[in-house]
Amino acid sequence: MPYQQLSLQTPAPVYSWAHHELGAQEVRMAKNVASLPFVFKHVALMPDVHLGKGALVGSAIATRDAVIPAAVGVDIGCGMAALKLPFTSEHLDGKLKPMRRDIEAVVPVGFNENADADKQARNWQGWRGFKDLHRGVQRLEAKALKQLGSLGGGNHFIELCLDTDDGVWLMLHSGSRHIGNRLAQCHIATAKELAKLAVPGLPDPDLAHFVRGTPEFAAYWRDLQWAQDYARYNRRVMLDRCRRVMELHLSGGKPVTPLLAVNCHHNYAEQEIHFGEEVIVTRKGAVRARTGDYGIIPGSMGAQSFIVKGKGNPTSFCSCAHGAGRQLSRTQAKKRFSVDDLVQQTQGIECRKDGGVLDEIPSAYKPIDKVMHQQTDLVEIVATLRQVVCVKG
């Protein structure tokens, strides 16, 4: 569906693919961002847009020579990864519970980390640049090493899925773990301190930013790229471990070759060319969707998910939604629903069904079908998936 221009009196217009009325706080957040002098062309809101910190989750923001650390967020490089594997539902019969158990054994979840880093984690090329990162994280190298190949908690997950052709997919959602969070916090604090001196009229402290050509910009950009690479490799390590579990159960341990592999960020910033100019695009809860780009748009636990291919829509800065988007906060979800509701809404899925994941109940999220309908001009659907196993922290 085409976008709508919001009726806001801002220097940069706001285009929205979310065909619903934004709340007062969401409107204020959109206006604050669109009023920044370095915003390029316009602000693009995706169908799953909702409140964030500084900027709305589900937005694509292009800027000239400036970057907003809080708009990128604290889970730098958070994103999705998926493998299509040469198995069908027949291979899964009677094996869902033991596969879930074995995945949970090889991938630490929640606050847990690996007891020891494996060879794949130790061999990551990014460790060579660790000594150049912000001094506030230098004592965290051992922790970052042990967390490489771990899931985290909240809305992060690992799933086994079936597509409409009965094909098996391995899919997961995770980011840069504690090291990415700490790097972000360090730079956000620096940006806010600078803003007190240089930008006294900033509409929101979380829109404090760095300007290209300054040491602070250079330091943040270096650390940002490192954390984004860490997040991508973290997903790769977990995919490899989970694939080996599946091979053990489904092919007698014989290695199999994935039919398709996708690994994409949805909380990050990159330098890109748009409308003939080099700009910085911050995607806060949005996936890059250039022509032919593969992306992953998950629904909630118990809903469909989608593998998509981008259409390269220039008005969205070649972006699309990153998921269903929450319609209830975690606190609201826990108050409104019971464990019995969770059990009912996740029927047929091998997953946790207890109060510890109640805030992730499907009804806490927007209907994913509606989100997909609102972005037919941004992506085409390649595969529609339904979960049969879901692992959460």
112 is in an annotated binding site: no
305 is in an annotated binding site: yes
Residue with tokens 């589900």: 58
**How many angstroms separate the first and last alpha carbons of the chain?**
35
195 is in an annotated binding site: no
299 is in an annotated binding site: yes
209 is in an annotated binding site: no
142 is in an annotated binding site: no
76 is in an annotated binding site: no
323 is in an annotated binding site: yes
Question: Which three-class secondary structure string do you get for the chain?
Answer: CCCEECCCCCCCCEEECCCCCCCHHHHHHHHHHHCCCCEEEEEEEEEEEECCCCCCEEEEEEECCEECHHHHCCCCCCEEEEEEEEEEHHHHCCCHHHHHHHHHHHCCCCCCCCCCCCHHHHCCHHHHHHHHCCHHHHHHHHHHHHHCCCCCCCCCEEEEEEECCCEEEEEEEECCHHHHHHHHHHHHHHHHHHHHHHCCCCCCHHHCCEECCCHHHHHHHHHHHHHHHHHHHHHHHHHHHHHHHHHHHHCCCCCCCCCEEEEEECEEEEEEEECCEEEEEEEECEEECCCCCEEEECCCCCCCEEEEEECCCHHHCCEEECCCCECCCHHHHHHHCCHHHHHHHCCCCEECCCHHHHHHCHHHECCHHHHHHCCCCCEEEEEEEEEEEEEEC
134 is in an annotated binding site: no
216 is in an annotated binding site: no
19 is in an annotated binding site: no
Residues classed as catalytic: 322
150 is in an annotated binding site: no
335 is in an annotated binding site: no
267 is in an annotated binding site: yes
75 is in an annotated binding site: yes
158 is in an annotated binding site: yes
70, two tokens: 């809080």
200 is in an annotated binding site: no
31, two tokens: 């206006």
Task: Please enumerate, by residue number, every residue annotated as part of a binding site.
Answer: 75, 155-159, 173, 266-267, 298-301, 305, 322-325, 392
Task: Please enumerate, by residue number, every residue annotated as part of a binding site for GMP.
Answer: 155-159, 266-267, 298-301, 305, 322-325, 392
Task: Please enumerate, by residue number, every residue annotated as part of a binding site for Mn(2+).
Answer: 75, 156, 173, 266
